[in-house]
Structure 1
Amino acid sequence: MSPPPPVLLVIDLQQGIVEGPADWGPRSTLKLTENVAHLLHTWRSRSWPVLHVYHDDLDEPDNPAQVKFPETFAPHISAAPLSSEPQFIKHRGSAFVGTKLLEELERLEKDGKRKIVVIGMDGSQCVNNTVRHAADLGFQLLVVADACSCYGMEDWRTGKQLGAEETWEAAMGVLTGSAKIVETDKALTTLGYD
């Protein structure tokens, strides 16, 4: 008997995060939206489960990822959910904190253990928090690196600004202890599908 199909977990692919404000600087992964759209099409064409998580930031009053800013809180066009796809709103880094995501994954696993494929924003923050949390909960994870993106960050020691690509490389590297990291064109093969 073959295992149940993998879940695609779409994290914080919102207009105001994917197309962040100018003061965030450029983001990594130039083909992010193209890869996201490709993966969503693949999952939907096979009727595999897709779950969406959105960030509603309650700590930074001007963050565009807030329900009170509907245009920037909205899903990015590359990742707009279908009405049948469950959606969760979180207020913290991990998508498991304060949401019903765990309950939904457990419901989906009644047919057997599923792999979770993660895509989204920001690779160094919410993607990282969610993936490491999921690994601690015992889930098997695959992160599609080129369907994740980061903005730059400040080096904690020197205060030097690290570029978006450098931050993305480091973020994906950190996740190797919690998940298998692949690129879009290798995702299905890695999962055992062609």
Structure 2
Amino acid sequence: MPDRPLALRPPALVVIDVQKGFDDANFWGRRNNPECETNIAALLARWRRQGWPVVLVRHDSSTPGSPLTPGSPGHEFQEITEGPADLVVTKSVNSAFLGVPDLNTWLRGNDLSEVVICGITTNHCCETTARMAGNLGYETVFAIDATYTFGRVSPDGTEMSADLLSEVTATNLHGEFATVVHTAELLGGGVAQHPR
């Protein structure tokens, strides 16, 4: 973790769209990073043990047939998220900052100036949330190995692997919108070490 000033308050852990519907490989395709859930669970355990702020974000899909449609089994949070949360945000677009209740208002109201982002998917809702967090002036940390995504096909028909898309997200964000780190860095020192 690079040396930088620490926030006066601990960072909020923003856990994005860790929902059962993303387990549907027939709908989404092949994913990367099988360690993602283990890393998210470790981050949640650390934050809850320390009494630091946890935000859970859930996607309410309006796409017909989506496993994330409200009322469907896939809309529910995965078991690894079970436990207390300081805020639950629901959204129907990519950014957690465009959900209900308003994440920016809640963070500002609690004097929180730093966020740590993890969840699903790397290059969609996680990346979009990180970009907005950076633009809104938050010190933004992106736990790249506590996210995963799926392969996609580019407009010219080229198959883009999930690993490649994850690397592109890390490259897009790092030093511009966020500091991209690995879970071990958050658990072992740096951003998550200071007291309230």
Please report the TM-score for the alignment, with normalisation by the length of structure 1.
0.89
Q: Displacement of 1:167 after TM fit?
A: 1.4
Matches within 5 A, 1:147-158: 147-156=146-155, 158=156
State yes or no: 1:55 paired with 2:59. yes
Q: CA deviation at 1:81?
A: 4.2
Q: Give the paired residue count.
A: 186
CA distance in 2, matches of 1:15, 1:117: 22
Match of 2:41 in 1: 37
CA deviation after TM superposition for structure 1 residue 161, in Å? 1.8
Unaligned stretches of 5+ residues in structure 1:
none
Structure 2 counterpart of 1:3: 8
Aligned to 2:3: none
Q: Say if 2:18 is the partner of 1:13.
A: yes
Paired residues of 1:52 and 1:81 also in contact (CA < 8 A)? no
**Structure 2 equivalent of residue 103 of structure 1:** 105
Instruction: Tell me the equivalent position of 1:128.
Output: 127
Counterpart in the other structure of 1:67: 70
Partner of 1:193: 193
Deviations 1:36-74 (A, max 9, x none): 11000000000000001111111x1111112131x1001
In 2: Cα distance, 1:27 partner to 1:81 partner: 26
Q: Which amino acid aligns with 2:163?
A: E
> 5+ residue gaps in structure 2?
1-5
| Cα deviation 1:134-154 (Å, max 9, x = unaligned) | 111111100111001111111
> 1:126 deviation in Å?
0.6
Q: Distance in 2 between matches of 1:178 and 1:13?
A: 22
Query: Which residue of 28, 37, 45 maps to 1:24?
Result: 28
Once superposed, what is the RMSD of the aligned Cα atoms? Answer: 1.8
Structure 1 stretches of 4+ moved >6 Å: none
Q: Quick one: which amino acid aligns to residue 122 of structure 2?
A: G
Partner of 1:46: 50
Counterpart for residue 178 of structure 1? 177
Following the alignment from structure 1 to structure 2, what is the Cα–Cα distance between the partners of residues 118 and 170? Answer: 17
- Cα contact 1:75–1:81 (8 A) shared by 2: no
Inter-partner Cα distance in structure 1 for 2:164 and 2:177: 20
2:7–2:113 contact (8 Å) kept in structure 1 = no
Cα distance in 2 for residues equivalent to 1:81 and 1:165: 30
Q: Distance in 1 between matches of 2:192 and 2:29?
A: 38
